[in-house]
Amino acid sequence: MRKACVALLYLALIGCGGGDKVAPADGEQSQQRFEWKLVTSWPKNFPGLGLAPEHFAEAVERMSNGRLKIKVYGAGQLVPALEVFDAVSQGTAEVGHSGAYYWKGKIPASPFFGAVPFGLNAQEMNAWLHYGGGLELWRELYEPFNLVPFAGGNTGVQMAGWFNREINSIADIKGLKMRIPGLGGEVFTRAGGISVNLPGGELYTSMQTGVIDATEWVGPYNDLAFGFYQVAKYYYYPGWHEPGPALELIVNKQALEALPDDLQAIVETAARAINQDMLDEYTARNNAALVELVEKHGVQVRKLPDDVLAEFQRLSADVIAELAAEDPLTKRIADSMRAFAAQSSAYHGISEEAYYNARGK
């Protein structure tokens, strides 16, 4: 069904383009074949995150009738999990799948295209990227690095994470060592905690051995697969740090431009398809996984105290304001996202939020 939907989406895209803009490939161009390598920050075939690049490769090969084949490498198989950006930028691989906030040390504004604390949710993030000017700003930001980014999935609002002790007030954050990347990690540090950036494959052992006291990862679907319930007792919500975390497909610019126009269109369309497919998968799978965590494994699900969330929100505003002041492009990105969020909040107050309140449980 997924493959059929992707194919229909591609045909629809071609149909909307207008006859004068679509030229059939023929001769040598129609027979030219390409082979790409795709590196990821996730374990091979990991549910959700790891399956998205596999689905992308399958869709591209199917729609191109085998003219563009992509071999997917999990984290560590070709390059380490947190070296995806450099590998694609330098042409070691033609495409990568990861999270933009991992590159904060290299590009301070990159977390805006991953997750912003108390920022856009998944629905709003996709809308901002594709209809609010976000994608154009993202590509301008990555252009010096020889990369063309595409939205590559979204998990929806995440959980706040797994903790080996209760959080009853902001005082309990002091000295707590937690795996939490991006802007959320900066906020956590300012709140008195110690943020650590570790790839997913190291989190279970790090919790088990006490290297870290807490970790955020994604949500019930992935957290159940990693078995975090075996090494932590408390599972906190909401995911203030990642309300609508976008994943990225980054493509080497020369590799993309070397493709004929129809294959470039296929890459773009397949990326758009898996971006939505991932959100659908997490929306469906998180529900059952949470039930299993609670009913089968006895996980204690807790809400972060209001004063903790309030302090995180205050610190988040400071972090974002300071980041926006660093350079003109970052300011344009922050202003664009802020303006879009204001519009979304105004409308969602009488649509999504009002409906949830009316529906109740």
Structure tokens given for 21: 């803009």
The answer to whether residue 333 is domain-embedded is no
Q: Are 120 and 344 in contact (CB under 8 A)?
A: yes
The answer to whether residue 291 is domain-embedded is no
Tally of domains within the chain: 1
Residue 303 C-alpha from the chain's centroid: 23
Mean of the pLDDT values across residues 124-146? 98
Q: Are 15 and 48 in contact (CB under 8 A)?
A: no
3-state secondary structure of 159: coil
pLDDT exceeding 90 applies to what percent of the chain? 89
Angstrom distance (rounded) from CA 77 to CA 50 = 13
Q: Order of strands across the sheet with 95-99?
A: 68-73, 34-40, 95-99, 246-252, 147-154
The answer to whether residue 131 is domain-embedded is yes
Mean of the pLDDT values across residues 221-227? 96
Confidence of residue 14 (pLDDT cuts 50, 70, 90): very low
Give the pLDDT confidence score for residue 29 in this predicted structure: 56
Nearest to 152 by CA among 52, 81, 71, 283: 52
Mean of the pLDDT values across residues 171-199? 96
Give the pLDDT confidence score for residue 16 in this predicted structure: 43
Helix locations, 71-152, DSSP H: 84-89, 122-131, 134-142
The answer to whether residue 82 is domain-embedded is yes
The answer to whether residue 272 is domain-embedded is yes
- The predicted-structure confidence for 319-338, as pLDDT tens digits, reads as follows 999 999 999 999 999 999 99
The answer to whether residue 210 is domain-embedded is no
Structure tokens given for 86: 């450099």
β-pairing, 161-163 with 95-99?
unpaired
Q: Which domain holds residue 139?
A: 34-154+244-283
The DSSP bridge partners found for residue 69 are 35
CATH of the domain at 279: 3.40.190.170
65: buried, middle or exposed (CB in 10 Å: 19+, 13-18, 0-12)? exposed
Give the pLDDT confidence score for residue 361 in this predicted structure: 65
Q: Are 127 and 199 in contact (CB under 8 A)?
A: no
Angstrom distance (rounded) from CA 310 to CA 100 = 26
What's the Cα-to-Cα distance from 38 to each of 29, 88, 145, 247, 289, rounded to whole Å? Answer: 23, 9, 17, 14, 29
> Average pLDDT, whole number, for the chain?
92
Residue 107 C-alpha from the chain's centroid: 16
Confidence of residue 31 (pLDDT cuts 50, 70, 90): confident
The answer to whether residue 101 is domain-embedded is yes
Give the pLDDT confidence score for residue 126 in this predicted structure: 98
Q: What is the CA radius of gyration of the chain?
A: 21
| CB contact set of 258 (below 8 Å; sequence gap of 6+) | 34
- The predicted-structure confidence for 55-107, as pLDDT tens digits, reads as follows 999 999 999 999 999 999 999 999 999 999 999 999 999 999 999 999 999 99
Which amino acid would we find at residue 12?
A
pTM of the predicted model as reported, rounded to 2 decimal places: 0.88
Q: Is the pLDDT of residue 19 over 50?
A: no
Angstrom distance (rounded) from CA 93 to CA 87 = 6
The answer to whether residue 348 is domain-embedded is no
